[in-house]
Amino acid sequence: MICYLSLGSNVGDKKQNLAKAMDMLAKLPKTRITKISGFYETEPWGGVEQDSFINNVVEIETGLSPEQLLTECQSVENSLGRKRTVRWGPRTIDIDILTYGDLRLSSEKLIIPHPYLEVREFVLAPLREIAPDFILPSGRPITAVKGEGKVKLLD
* DSSP tag of 58: E
The pLDDT assigned to 88 comes to 64
Beta bridge partners of 2: 61
Band of residue 155 on the pLDDT scale cut at 50, 70, 90:
confident
Q: Are 123 and 6 in contact (CB under 8 A)?
A: yes
pLDDT at 11 over 70: yes
Those residues with Cβ within 8 angstroms of residue 111's Cβ, 6 or more apart along the chain or in another chain: 105
CATH architecture assignment, domain 2-153: 2-Layer Sandwich (3.30)
- Mean pLDDT, all residues of the chain: 94
**Dist. CA 71–CA 81, nearest whole Å:** 15
Residue 76's closest CA among 98, 53, 97, 95? 95
Q: Is residue 48 predicted with pLDDT exceeding 80?
A: no
Sign of the torsion angle spanned by Cα atoms 143, 50, 54, 20:
negative
- For 73-118, write each residue's pLDDT tens digit: 999 999 999 887 767 668 899 999 999 999 999 999 999 999 999 9
The pTM of the whole model exceeds 0.75: yes
User: Half-sphere exposure of residue 139, counting CA atoms within 13 Å on the CB side?
Assistant: 0
Catalytic residues: 82, 91, 94, 96
